[in-house]
Amino acid sequence: MRKTGYAPLTVGGTVRGFVGVEADARFLTEIGTMRRRMIGAGLVGFLAAALLSFGLARGLTLPLGRLVDAARAMGRGELDRRIPIGRPDEIGFLARTLEEARGRLAERDRSLRAMVAGIAHEVRNPLGGVQIYAELLANDPSLTASQRERVQKVLLEIHRLGEIVEEFLAYARPQPPDRVAVDPAGLVQETVDLLSGLLEEREVEVVQGPPDRSVTVLVDPGQLRQILLNLVRNAAEASPRGGTVQVAWDRQGTSAAIIVEDQGPGVPLERREQVFEPFFTTKSSGAGLGLSIVRHLTEQNGGQVSLDRAQGGGCRFTVRLEIAKEESVG
- The helix/strand count (H/E) of the chain reads as 7, 9
- Can you tell me the distance from the alpha carbon of 67 to that of 61, in angstroms, rounded to the nearest whole number? 10
- Can you tell me the distance from the alpha carbon of 282 to that of 278, in angstroms, rounded to the nearest whole number? 12
Domains 90-172 and 180-322 share a fold: no
Decide if pLDDT at 103 tops 70.
yes
- Tell me which residue of 191, 197, 164 sits closest to 283, measured CA to CA: 164
Mean pLDDT over 181-204 rounds to 88
DSSP code for 69: H
Top mean-pLDDT range of 7-11, 76-80, 276-280, 302-306? 302-306
Sign of CA dihedral 187, 192, 198, 204: positive
Top mean-pLDDT range of 100-114, 136-150, 172-186, 277-291? 136-150
- Tell me which residue of 277, 319, 274 sits closest to 301, measured CA to CA: 319
The number of residues making up the chain comes to: 330
The CATH number of domain 180-322 is 3.10.20.30: no
pLDDT tens string 114-139: 777 777 777 777 888 888 888 888 88
pTM here?
0.59
Mean pLDDT over 9-13 rounds to 79
Decide if pLDDT at 310 tops 90.
no
The confidence band for 327, taking pLDDT boundaries of 50, 70 and 90, is: very low
Domain made up of 90-172: CATH architecture: Orthogonal Bundle (1.10)
State the distance between the two ends of the chain, measured CA to CA, in whole angstroms. Answer: 81
- What percent of the chain is predicted at pLDDT more than 90? 5
70 within 8 A of 98, measured Cβ to Cβ: yes
pLDDT value at position 76? 61
Q: Which helix (H) or strand (E) element contains residue 249? A: strand 244-252
Map residue 255 onto helix, strand or coil.
Answer: strand
* Whole-Å CA distances, 322 to 187, 215, 248, 263, 304: 17, 10, 16, 28, 10
- Can you tell me the distance from the alpha carbon of 86 to that of 167, in angstroms, rounded to the nearest whole number? 40
Who wins on pLDDT, 104 or 72? 104
The confidence band for 282, taking pLDDT boundaries of 50, 70 and 90, is: low
Who wins on pLDDT, 41 or 144? 144
Q: What is the dihedral of CA 103, 105, 109, 111, to 10 degrees?
A: 70
pLDDT value at position 45? 77
- Can you tell me the distance from the alpha carbon of 310 to that of 152, in angstroms, rounded to the nearest whole number? 36
- Can you tell me the distance from the alpha carbon of 4 to that of 173, in angstroms, rounded to the nearest whole number? 95
The ranges assigned to domains in the chain are 2-72, 90-172, 180-322
